Amino acid sequence: MTANLGSRIAGQVIDRITAPNGVNSSLADLALGSGLTLAPVDRSQVNARNVAADLAERTTGVKYPSVNVYCEKLVNNQSEKFRRFSGYAGMAVEVRHSQDHVAGLQDALELYADSVMQVLDAARGDWGNGLFYLGGYEMALSAVKQGGRSFIQSAKITFQIGVSRN
């Protein structure tokens, strides 16, 4: 019953992020007020994987910003007693951004993360097939490190997708 459940949910999150009304639809508006110029997020930059930034750079070609979507955990808490699986999937969207200078790196990263959170805000409700998103998320920013195109920083957005399956 839980076979590939996390991967299937990650795929649905990716579909929402890369949709015409996804991340890029709000990115230009968010950047307008900040004075920053942000590159749109291409579909090839959004992946279903949980991999460290330095490992991703060594093993695959990474284009920044990069967006990684993955399931951190599945919890079957039997909130509906007669279902085989009723609980939630703990999901994560990790946005990584890299640039030559430290100045403005966090500001740009926060705008990319804000656009992901706007996608989540618009996705509240029934996702079909026993999946639903009630809203709510947390964002955590990492410290700036060397990597990518000189400096790299990431924002991790975590949220729960409710699951009710027979």
**101-159 residue pLDDT tens:** 999 999 999 999 999 999 999 999 999 999 999 999 999 999 999 876 689 999 999 99
Beta bridge partners of 146: 151
% of residues, the chain, pLDDT over 70? 96
Give pLDDT, residue 37: 84
Show Cβ contacts of residue 25 under 8 Å, excluding neighbours closer than 6 positions.
none
CATH T-level topology, domain 5-165: Alpha-Beta Plaits (3.30.70)
| pTM exceeding the 0.85 threshold for the entire prediction | yes
Q: What is the DSSP letter of 149?
A: S
Residues 18-30 pLDDT 10s: 999 999 998 988 8
> CA nearest 139: which of 99, 104, 106, 98?
106
